[in-house]
Amino acid sequence: MITGKILGTGSYVPPRVMDNDDMARIVDTNDEWIRERTGIGRRHIAENETTSYMATRAALRAIEQSGIAPEEIEMVIVATSSSETIYPCAACEVQREIKAENAVGYDLNGACTGFVLAFNTAQAYISAGLYRTILVIGAESMSHMVNWTDRSTCILFGDGAGAVVLRAQEGEPVRMAAHSDGEKGPALKGLSRHRKDWDCKDSDKDAYIRMDGQGVFKFAVRKVPEIIEEILEQSDVSLEDIEYFILHQANRRIIEAVAKRLKTDISRFPMNLEEYANTSAATVPILLDEMNRKGMFKRGQKLMMAGFGAGLTWAGCLFEW
Ligand code: ACO
């Protein structure tokens, strides 16, 4: 079976760090509350770096590790919901910057589920035999989206990007699943800066991100274990065979609740949200890159990725390193 193997990973976060004490100088909050409710300690915030700049830095690191030439890349997919420009899309800007002159590029807006959806899309192209080498990126500038006077959301997010290079090789097929529940969409809304009045009450005209935090929490802890089990049912792989569960890094308590529901030790659920907070579509590839560069992966290991977020959407995939 032809499948997309990860040849290399890369990531980039802006150097400017805002810790929880910095947040407490902006809104009525404190380090203890943020750590206890979310697990977040710091976040990296873009100053002049744009979404496509961060995506490009991550991509160049992934390409360097892959040992391929940029001209070998046939497709660039950037999962993002916070790019400064609608068009040209971030993927075409990356394509230009990395000189991937033979690649088609497009963005995919799947909010926090975006990277997993983009990874699965790339895998489908590869297993269909249509493309051999695809660069998949998750990149977000969440600091542009949040309302910095709303303590219930601004403390949650950070900026950054992560990337993987996939190359067609013989291997075990990637198992995947994805769902949406548009009925629950109002639980998490991100408003375009040009349409601030869209569907807003007068009281929250300035809110870029509006969220029913507890609603999203309950959705995530129910749907993530469900989709992991759904994916396992497609294969002869059991929960015990999975080396790591690489989940969207929204909240430590969500990840702990998922591990508990699956009766799986939390040590198999790596986390880095203390350092980066929720970088939406970038959390999963940033974590993948950190683990890869620490030497945590070996060929043949089985890994499960899962994302969840606005839409509401949730998606996952099981693949071999
Ligand atoms: N600092 C201090 N107090 C705060 C803060 C803050 N930053 N934010 C809210 N509070 C207060 C509230 O005003 C409330 O006060 P009250 O009791 O006097 O009314 C109290 O803390 C409790 O607020 P809750 O909203 O009930 O707190 P909760 O325990 O639900 O935690 C949180 C809030 C962290 C947002 C939680 O609901 C959560 O993590 N939900 C999931 C959200 C999420 O992860 N979203 C992103 C996923 S999707 C994506 O990635 C885009």
Structure confidence by residue, pLDDT tens digits, 126-142: 999 999 999 999 999 99
Q: What is the mean pLDDT of the chain?
A: 94
Asked, colleague to colleague, whether 2-170 and 175-270+290-320 share their fold, the answer is: yes
Q: Give percent of the chain above pLDDT 90.
A: 89
In angstroms, the CA 290 to CA 287 distance is 5
Q: What angle do CA 86, 89, 92 make, to 5 degrees?
A: 165
Asked if 30 is an active-site residue, the reply is no
Which protein residue has the closest C-alpha to ligand 1 atom 49?
A: 309
Torsion, Cα 172 318 7 163, to 10 degrees, reads 160
Is 60 exceeded by the pLDDT of residue 198? no
- Asked if CATH classification 3.40.47.10 holds for the domain at 175-270+290-320, the reply, yes or no, is yes
Residue 54 and residue 14 in contact, taking contact as beta carbons nearer than 8 Å: yes
In SS3 terms, the chain reads as CEEEEEEEEEEECCCCEEEHHHHHCCCCCCHHHHHHHHCCCEEECCCCCCHHHHHHHHHHHHHHHHCCCHHHCCEEEEECCCCCCCCCCHHHHHHHHCCCCCCEEEEECCHHHHHHHHHHHHHHHHHCCCCCEEEEEEEEEHHHCCCCCCHHHHCCECEEEEEEEEEEEECCCCEEEEEECHHHHHHEEECCHHHCCCCCCHHHCCCCEEECHHHHHHHHHHHHHHHHHHHHHCCCCCHHHEEEEEECCCCHHHHHHHHHHCCCCHHHCCCCHHHHCECHHHHHHHHHHHHHHCCCCCCCCEEEEEEEECCCEEEEEEEEC
Closest CA to 58 of 112, 139, 123, 120: 139
Q: Per-domain residue ranges for the chain? A: 2-170, 175-270+290-320
Residue 190 and residue 209 in contact, taking contact as beta carbons nearer than 8 Å: yes
**Quick one: 2-170 is in which CATH superfamily?**
Thiolase/Chalcone synthase (3.40.47.10)
In angstroms, the CA 75 to CA 131 distance is 8
Is 60 exceeded by the pLDDT of residue 178? yes
Is 50 exceeded by the pLDDT of residue 259? yes
- Return the higher-pLDDT residue of 200 and 265: 265
Q: Which candidate in 92, 278, 292, 317 is catalytic? A: 278
Structure confidence by residue, pLDDT tens digits, 224-254: 999 999 999 999 999 999 999 999 999 999 9
Which of 212, 216, 248 is the pocket-test mutation for ligand 1 (most atoms within 8 Å of CB)?
A: 216
Is 90 exceeded by the pLDDT of residue 303? yes
Closest CA to 78 of 53, 99, 102: 53
In angstroms, the CA 249 to CA 274 distance is 9
| Residue ranges lining ligand 1, Cβ < 6 Å | 29, 33-34, 37-38, 111-112, 151-152, 155, 188, 211, 213-214, 216-217, 250-251, 278, 280, 309-310
- Residue 202's pLDDT band, with cuts at 50, 70 and 90, is very low
Structure confidence by residue, pLDDT tens digits, 76-104: 999 999 998 889 999 999 999 999 999 99
Torsion, Cα 122 124 128 133, to 10 degrees, reads 20
Q: What is the pTM of this model?
A: 0.95
Closest CA to 62 of 133, 118, 154, 123: 133
Asked if 278 is an active-site residue, the reply is yes
Look up residue 65 and give its two tokens.
């590790």
Q: Which residues pair with 244 in a beta bridge?
A: 303
Q: Which candidate in 20, 120, 154, 248 is catalytic? A: 248
